[in-house]
Chains A and B, each alone.
Chain A
Amino acid sequence: MTRLTSLTAIAVALSLTAGCAHRRTANELPPEPPSATAAETDATGNQDGNVTGAPLPGSRGDFLQSVPADRVFFDFDSFALDDQDRTTLDAQAAWLGRNAGVRVTIEGHADERGTREYNLALGDRRANAARDYLEARGVAASRMQVISWGKERPANPASNETAWAENRRAVTVVPE
């Protein structure tokens, strides 16, 4: 659901900015953008309110439009990245390479099936796994900071496998 929401947000942004020169990832996006309103928000509660034109280069909206997702997902009690995560992070690293002035925060999160303190440490592991990958792809360490939220900020508050999968995540947050 979160991934869908992110894709939807990207698609909406794309539909509003047809012809934009930065649409280099168009072939990775769903072919038919839904006619959802621009009020879609992503799971971090952020919104691309720029409904009248293209997002500014280097903005959060530009980032969300340019990458497959702002987040990667993890297996239960794991902080290992899979191929899909690496694809996502490769795109994020490329965008950060084009926008060298942008600093990001990488948030690590856990699902509710862990004790509070362990989940803080697990979220830190996940944020650092994404951070380390981005650094290996050329993003300067000084441009990235990590924060773990443990299980304190679920993207999906439900208690089921779908929600847990959405909540085990590391989110790259570009300033608005």
Chain B
Amino acid sequence: MKALLALFAVLLASAGHAQADPQSAEPPPLEVDVTGGQRAALPIAVPDMPTPQESATAAGGTGALGRQVADIVAADLRNSGLFTPIGPGGLHAVSFPQVTAPDFPYFATTGAQNLVQGFVQANPNGSLTVGCYLYDVAAQNELTRQGYVVQPRDWRRAAHRCADAIYSRLTGEGAYFDTRIVYVSETGPARRRIKRLAIMDYDGANHRFLTNGQWTVLTPRFAPNQQTITFMTYQDERPRVMVYELDSGRTRPLVTGPNMTFAPRYSPDSRFIIFSMAVSGNTDIYRIPVAGGTPQRLTSSPGIDTGGSYSPDGSRITFESDRGGSQQIYLMDADGSNQRRISFGGGGYATPVWSPRGDLIAFTKTGGFRIGVMAPDGSGERILTGGGYAEGPTWAPNGRAVMFTRGASQGELWYVDVASGATRRVPTPLGGSDPAWSPLRP
């Protein structure tokens, strides 16, 4: 049944505007339940957003922007797997005065349970105001309203924030649409694959490359404060962890010395990076201030200890180790004490990543290369992805969705909603691997 629901969600996600069929969904509760067993996608009408006065802006006319904002809001809600957007295409036009006085009887005939309306207005100082209103169609009342003032070039962010407000109001969960992905763009034959650092909005828009491909780069991660990105590079044939400053574009090594460093991840307060260092064939986990300093060794087993990831409160670290003979997931306190294994489900486990909510650890199950989750005490293991090679999960900032690499030889970025199991591919201009999801943008 879960697979059917997932398939249903995928089909919905891939359908165009006109494909939304309100008759196919059970009458849903007012609120979306993302944790329980019933997960019918909620029909929600998203008509084009009018403008009080057509104006030219650096991002195009406000009328056109109103249609584009509605498109993005609908796409975001559809991407979550939890909503079935109706429109913008095929719906009656909404006039500017109707934004705050919806035609509820009309929208009731579309099958929508909820309604998103809004407007786009150009301001005298060159900025845009995007209004965003959420209504309950049956109850005929307003559930929330938000306004966003942005520069024209950031109009997509206003749309994502509108969708975030709707998602949060209807699910009770944290938002995640106004986010970015840093990942490794891949092209070329496997023996000479070119791997470039790239960054984009969570939905693939505003894509740009951060490195030129001269050197292989791997495993980028966002700092929680979003001021730096850490990643591994083979620059000068010296594989090691670097810190990239997003504002200045400067890059510096995290650690000096001849040993390979890799698998970096930030502490929740952005002050430290834990990383792995291979010394004479033995890999252990270390911690160092982002600003630099002396590495502090956290593990000392003769096995491979790598893939460290902090709990959201910073008190513990999950990591993988083959000290017991196979790759398994372990926990330790942030100072390296109290190390204990938590994965006992059979087979190998790798790349544990702690959810921002703290309730789950996502991992790669190495036997069939599937993405799964388990509670931090090792209980409740659940596999999220089906056939096809998958590895390297990264959490959405609300802890409800995971992005990962799919494909061993030619990588793609994929996304799975943890509750529904709905998956979809994340568009990238070339191949992609090693995604890292940013926190919500400030």
Residues of chain B with a CB closer than 8 A to A121's CB: 262, 276, 278, 283, 304, 306
Residues of chain A with a CB closer than 8 A to B216's CB: 152
A6 adjacent to chain B (CB < 8 Å):
no
Residue pair A117, B189 in contact (C-beta under 8 Å): no
CB-based A-B contact count at 8 angstroms = 86
Residue pair B304, A122 in contact (C-beta under 8 Å): yes
Residue pair B239, A148 in contact (C-beta under 8 Å): yes
A103 adjacent to chain B (CB < 8 Å):
no
Chain A: how many interface residues by the 8 Å CB criterion? 27
Q: Given A79-B281, A112-B408, A147-B237, is A117 in contact with B191 using a C-beta cutoff of 8 Å?
A: no
B102 adjacent to chain A (CB < 8 Å):
no
Residues of chain A with a CB closer than 8 A to B318's CB: none
B391 adjacent to chain A (CB < 8 Å):
yes
User: How big is chain B's contact interface, by range?
Assistant: 35 or more
Residue pair A153, B260 in contact (C-beta under 8 Å): no
Chain B window 172-207, contacts with chain A (Cβ cutoff 8 Å), 1 for yes, 0 for no: 000000000000000001111101000000000000
Residue pair A128, B219 in contact (C-beta under 8 Å): no
Stretch at the interface among A12-20, A87-95, A154-162: A154-162
Residue pair A114, B366 in contact (C-beta under 8 Å): yes
Chain A window 61-103, contacts with chain B (Cβ cutoff 8 Å), 1 for yes, 0 for no: 0000000000000000001000000000000000000000000
Report the Cα distance A157→B304, complex, angstroms.
Answer: 26
Residue pair A153, B237 in contact (C-beta under 8 Å): no
B327 adjacent to chain A (CB < 8 Å):
yes
Residue pair B191, A118 in contact (C-beta under 8 Å): no
Q: Given A117-B262, A148-B278, is A159 in contact with B366 using a C-beta cutoff of 8 Å?
A: no
Chain A window 98-125, contacts with chain B (Cβ cutoff 8 Å), 1 for yes, 0 for no: 0000000000000011111110111011
A45 adjacent to chain B (CB < 8 Å):
yes
Residue pair A118, B350 in contact (C-beta under 8 Å): yes
Residues of chain A with a CB closer than 8 A to B364's CB: 115
| Complex: chain B residue closest to A153, CB-CB | B191
Residue pair B434, A124 in contact (C-beta under 8 Å): no
Residue pair B306, A157 in contact (C-beta under 8 Å): no
B307 adjacent to chain A (CB < 8 Å):
yes
B166 adjacent to chain A (CB < 8 Å):
no
| Complex: chain B residue closest to A151, CB-CB | B408
B280 adjacent to chain A (CB < 8 Å):
yes
B421 adjacent to chain A (CB < 8 Å):
no
Residues of chain A with a CB closer than 8 A to B260's CB: 120, 124, 147-148
Residue pair A115, B283 in contact (C-beta under 8 Å): no
B49 adjacent to chain A (CB < 8 Å):
no
The listed residue (B192, B237, B239, B320) touching A118 by CB distance below 8 A is B320
Residue pair A115, B281 in contact (C-beta under 8 Å): no
A12-42 contacts to B, CB under 8 A, are none
Residues of chain B with a CB closer than 8 A to A128's CB: 280-281
Interchain nearest-CB distance for A119 vs B (Å) = 10
Residues of chain B with a CB closer than 8 A to A159's CB: 408-409
A54 adjacent to chain B (CB < 8 Å):
no
B218 adjacent to chain A (CB < 8 Å):
yes
A174 adjacent to chain B (CB < 8 Å):
no
Residue pair A152, B193 in contact (C-beta under 8 Å): yes
A129 adjacent to chain B (CB < 8 Å):
yes
Report the Cα distance A127→B282, complex, angstroms.
Answer: 11
Q: Given A112-B409, A121-B278, is A147 in contact with B239 using a C-beta cutoff of 8 Å?
A: yes
Report the Cα distance A154→B193, complex, angstroms.
Answer: 10
Report the Cα distance A45→B192, complex, angstroms.
Answer: 10
Interchain nearest-CB distance for B270 vs A (Å) = 21
Report the Cα distance A114→B258, complex, angstroms.
Answer: 25
Q: List 21 A-B contacts (CB under 8 A).
A: A112-B409, A113-B366, A114-B350, A115-B351, A115-B364, A116-B218, A117-B276, A118-B306, A118-B307, A118-B322, A118-B327, A120-B218, A120-B239, A120-B262, A121-B262, A121-B306, A124-B260, A155-B191, A157-B189, A157-B191, A159-B408
Other A-B pairs beyond A45-B191, A116-B392, 9, CB < 8 Å: A113-B366, A114-B350, A118-B304, A121-B262, A121-B278, A124-B278, A148-B278, A152-B216, A159-B409
